[in-house]
């Protein structure tokens, strides 16, 4: 089995965060401490995707983009690029999208007892029109192994999950040294797809606090998990809200990323651990482990069979129309005070890709509690 992955065409378009069925309402604000805002409270002209948090609404837009292989302005007016208000403009494409959602929901309800067996991607497969004719190149070409998005039965001859995780902990420097890591501060660069590199800082405290700060020319963008809740604070030129709450799978992902910053607790990070059959990533032999944070969807981890180090993680975020995968690739492991830490990470999701390259890591550095304090909206 060889695990090969290709990007949806929408990624190549350097898709901006946008909304297929709505636009930002400048009048919509909440005070700190209030519940997360729903999509219809923040965006104008929402007629179908009501009653879901803003971050889940944005994930749905990414799912549409990846399914059709198009960027935001395919369904929005051209003038919407860089203008949140214009995303509310109605047009034939958006009306078609609403009809497609109703059709998909109707099929799932009528033929699959309400189970989500059909999504936009089922028919479109990265094209703006549904696939209707078999593709001979795909039929006779090398098979593309699908990423498992459900919990799989353990491999008959696979090693135990504990043995794989123990090998990983030992490869990083051993349980005793990992337990001694209480915090770290890292510096490096962040580069989004098609963007210039920007300075980056990471502040982390054990067992599960992490804040990533990407410095911009006019303002910084910060992604934080404080041990309980998470958020993204960014200029409204980049995000629909100055402080965007993370909920559902996005929150679970932020929690997992923070825990994996201190891998001594990796066994407690997920449940239902199971080992699958060995595989390959770009001819590198890997051992696949699955665990779950919510009991529904898996997190897939790929460990180098030779070194024992984690080389890839794939997790999922749910949306009303389908699962959205996020893939994190880890490499360039370096020694930091007797511990191995990845200095290069590539994060790929349905409508974007970013690279983090670290240049300096200070273990057990003092990290002020203010780094994990939620800003006022």
Residue 120 lies in a domain: yes
- Residue 5, pLDDT > 80, answer no
The total number of structural domains that make up the chain = 2
| Distance set, CA 114 to CA 21, 61, 117, 317 (Å) | 23, 22, 8, 19
* Contact call for residues 93 and 72 (beta carbons, < 8 A): no
Calculate the average pLDDT of the chain: 86
Rounded Cα–Cα distance for residues 217 and 227 (Å): 29
At 83, which CATH number? 1.10.468.10
> What average pLDDT does the segment 260-288 reach?
93
* Contact call for residues 131 and 125 (beta carbons, < 8 A): yes
pLDDT of residue 238: 73
| pLDDT tier for residue 35 given thresholds of 50, 70 and 90 | low
pLDDT of residue 367: 98
| Distance set, CA 47 to CA 19, 121, 223 (Å) | 12, 22, 30
Domain with 214, as residue range(s), is 161-372
Q: What is the DSSP letter of 81?
A: T
Residue 57 or residue 78, greater confidence: 57
Which runs of consecutive H residues, i.e. helices, occur in 173-247?
A: 175-179
Question: What share of the chain in percent tops pLDDT 70?
Answer: 90
- Residue 99, pLDDT > 80, answer yes
Query: In this predicted model, what pLDDT tens digit does every residue of 128-184 receive, in sequence order?
Result: 888 888 888 888 887 777 788 888 888 778 899 999 999 999 999 999 999 999 999
Written as one string, the DSSP assignment of 321-349 is TEEEEEEEEEEEEEEETTEEEEEEEEEEE
Residue 354 lies in a domain: yes
Question: What share of the chain in percent tops pLDDT 90?
Answer: 55
| pLDDT tier for residue 197 given thresholds of 50, 70 and 90 | very high
Domain boundary among 79, 108, 140: 140
At 286, which CATH number? 2.50.20.10
- Residue 308, pLDDT > 70, answer yes
* Contact call for residues 320 and 119 (beta carbons, < 8 A): no
Residues 126 and 18 in one domain: yes
Residues 307 and 184 in one domain: yes
Give the list of residues 6+ apart from residue 261 with CB closer than 8 angstroms, or none.
184, 204, 210
Residues 228 and 316 in one domain: yes
- Residue 23, pLDDT > 80, answer no
* Contact call for residues 303 and 168 (beta carbons, < 8 A): yes
Element (H, E) at 42: helix 39-42
């Amino acid at each position: 089995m060889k695990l090969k992955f290709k990007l949806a065409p929408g990624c190549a378009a350097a898709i901006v965060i946008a909304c297929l069925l709505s636009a930002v309402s400048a009048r919509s604000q909440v005070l700190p401490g209030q519940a997360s805002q729903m999509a219809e409270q923040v965006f104008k002209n929402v007629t179908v995707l009501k009653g879901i948090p803003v971050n889940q609404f944005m994930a749905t837009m990414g799912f549409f983009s990846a399914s059709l292989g198009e960027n935001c302005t395919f369904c929005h007016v051209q003038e919407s690029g860089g203008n949140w208000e214009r995303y509310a403009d109605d047009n034939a494409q958006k009306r078609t999208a609403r009809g497609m959602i109703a059709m998909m929901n109707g099929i799932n309800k009528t033929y699959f007892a309400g189970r989500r067996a059909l999504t936009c991607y089922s028919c479109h497969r990265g094209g703006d029109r549904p696939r209707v004719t078999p593709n001979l190149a795909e039929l006779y070409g090398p098979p593309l192994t699908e990423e498992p998005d459900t919990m799989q039965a353990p491999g008959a001859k696979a090693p135990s999950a504990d043995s794989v995780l123990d090998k990983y902990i030992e490869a990083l420097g051993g349980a005793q040294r990992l337990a001694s890591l209480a915090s770290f501060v890292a510096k490096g660069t962040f580069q989004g797809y098609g963007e210039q590199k920007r300075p980056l800082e990471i502040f982390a405290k054990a067992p599960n606090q992490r804040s990533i700060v990407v410095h911009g020319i006019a303002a910084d963008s910060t992604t934080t998990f404080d041990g309980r809740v998470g958020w993204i604070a960014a200029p409204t030129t980049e995000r629909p809200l100055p402080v965007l709450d993370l909920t559902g799978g996005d929150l679970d992902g932020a929690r997992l990323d923070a825990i994996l910053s201190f891998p001594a607790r990796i066994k407690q990070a997920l449940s239902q651990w199971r080992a699958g059959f060995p595989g390959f990533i770009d001819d590198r032999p890997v051992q696949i482990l699955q665990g779950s944070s919510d009991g529904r969807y898996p997190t897939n981890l790929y460990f180098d069979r030779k070194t024992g180090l984690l080389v890839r993680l794939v997790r999922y975020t749910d949306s009303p129309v389908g699962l959205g995968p996020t893939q994190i690739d880890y490499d360039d492991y370096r020694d930091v005070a007797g511990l191995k830490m990845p200095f290069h990470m590539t994060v790929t999701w349905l409508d974007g890709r970013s690279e983090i390259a670290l240049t300096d890591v200070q273990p057990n550095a003092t990290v002020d509690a203010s780094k994990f304090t939620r800003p006022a909206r």
